[in-house]
């Protein structure tokens, strides 16, 4: 297995080019699965000048097309724009909201978290409430929490809550983006870090006038967190020969970790996916991505993830005849919590690698 390459001085300098204001806007804009309109509108407001065409399909994916020399063998990169969230399930007479999850949650991570209920009359800040530990029985204190143990408290009278909030209103977490050392910390870096990487790649391809070997479709997909639904629809339509998934991956590299459990480490570069539970990446694509990274001295690390899946699988499976797929993954600590953390240099390396990968498919050996 190849070792991660050390970054050059130039690459280290480029890490300072990460635009934190743009990243913060992408990360904090709401967009629960099925309710992606706010983040979709932000994306649509950015990409028009960078692409030959931009459109939204029936399910809500944003599909950006950049022409290349070869239109017969298109490439596609998919970054899902939905974030894990909740949906209002019921409201009692006192105004306390019960909810259902949209995506996977560890219930213990919900304690006292701030959330935003996106109601018809405007956004309402709330907090996750539960039974105080002071009045729990001994057997309750040791019991694993369930999502049904929580409710949302808007701090308003029941009558007012029932006037403002409807069953089915989406709910997202509240957590601003902050810098922590060499890293950024925020909710929903899964997968807004990848949305940022794809947006910056489109911007830099346009501004640097990079000529692409193949037509390129940059797709910001919906409803990945509830079953890869957006990428399945877009892959079937685009039918890419080459597919690149963009997502975060586990960085369990702190106390208690081991080489077998860490998956990736922050600051060791972008990750080239070998496999996860939903996909075994094509060896031809893995070799191609490694060669592009090595030639440009881009710092990278291999990723073998035995649980979890990404849009990569959707492109591979839902393209007639199958697509040649790989994935660029962003190492991230505390995934699916409100304190997700990614390293700025890893974000920069992900942009640099994606630009090269989508520009140079004619340099790959695609013989099977």
Specify whether 224 is catalytic: yes
Please compute, for residue 138, the number of CA atoms within 13 A of its CA located in the half-sphere on the CB side: 0
What CA–CA distance (Å, rounded) separates 160 from 326? 50
Task: Give the list of residues 6+ apart from residue 169 with CB closer than 8 angstroms, or none.
Answer: 87, 88, 117, 118, 119, 120
Nearest one of 283, 351, 295, 29 to 176, comparing CA atoms: 29
Place of tokens 């957006």: 230
Place of tokens 């509830």: 226
User: From the candidates 36, 200, 224, 345, which is the catalytic residue?
Assistant: 224
- N- to C-terminal Cα separation, the chain: 21
Spatial contact of 32 and 172, defined as CB atoms under 8 Å apart: yes
Spatial contact of 33 and 102, defined as CB atoms under 8 Å apart: yes
Spatial contact of 345 and 12, defined as CB atoms under 8 Å apart: yes
Helices and strands in the chain, H and E counts: 10, 17
- The 10 Å Cβ neighbour count of residue 20 is 13
Spatial contact of 93 and 163, defined as CB atoms under 8 Å apart: no
Helices 189-207, 37-47: inter-axial angle, 10-degree rounding: 10
Element (H, E) at 42: helix 37-47
Could you give the C-alpha distances from 167 to 90, 95, 129, 312, in angstroms and in order?
6, 12, 19, 33
Name the residues annotated as catalytic. 224
């Amino acid at each position: 297995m190849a070792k991660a390459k050390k970054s050059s001085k130039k690459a280290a300098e480029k890490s300072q080019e990460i635009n934190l204001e743009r990243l913060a806007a992408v990360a904090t804009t709401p967009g629960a699965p099925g309710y992606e309109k706010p983040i979709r509108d932000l994306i649509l407001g950015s990409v028009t000048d960078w692409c030959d065409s931009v459109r939204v399909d029936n399910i809500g994916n944003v599909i950006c097309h950049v022409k290349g020399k070869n239109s017969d063998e298109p490439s596609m990169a998919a970054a899902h724009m939905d974030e894990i969230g909740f949906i209002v399930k019921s409201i009692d007479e006192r105004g306390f909201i019960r909810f259902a999850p949209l995506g996977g949650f560890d219930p213990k991570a919900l304690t006292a978290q701030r959330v935003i209920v996106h109601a018809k009359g405007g956004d309402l800040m709330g907090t996750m409430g539960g039974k105080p530990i002071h009045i729990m029985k001994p057997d309750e204190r040791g019991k694993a929490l369930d999502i049904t143990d929580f409710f949302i408290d808007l701090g308003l009278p029941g009558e007012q809550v029932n006037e403002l909030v409807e069953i089915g209103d989406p709910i997202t977490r509240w957590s601003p983006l902050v810098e922590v050392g060499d890293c950024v910390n925020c909710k929903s870096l899964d997968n807004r870090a990848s949305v940022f990487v794809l947006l910056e790649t489109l911007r830099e391809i346009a501004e640097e006038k990079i000529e692409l070997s193949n037509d390129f479709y940059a797709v910001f997909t919906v409803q990945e967190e509830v079953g890869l639904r957006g990428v399945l629809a877009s892959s079937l339509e685009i039918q890419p020969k080459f597919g690149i998934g963009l997502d975060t991956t586990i960085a369990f590299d702190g106390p208690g970790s081991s080489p077998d459990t860490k998956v990736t480490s922050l600051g060791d570069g972008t990750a080239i996916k070998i496999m996860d539970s939903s996909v075994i990446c094509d060896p031809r694509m893995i070799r191609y991505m490694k060669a592009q990274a090595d030639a440009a001295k881009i710092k990278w690390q291999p990723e073998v993830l035995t649980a979890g899946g990404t849009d990569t699988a959707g492109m591979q499976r839902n393209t007639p005849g199958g697509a040649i797929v790989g994935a660029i993954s962003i190492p991230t600590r505390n995934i699916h919590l409100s304190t997700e953390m990614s390293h700025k240099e890893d974000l920069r390396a992900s942009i640099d690698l994606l630009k090269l990968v989508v520009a140079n498919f004619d340099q790959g050996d695609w013989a099977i």
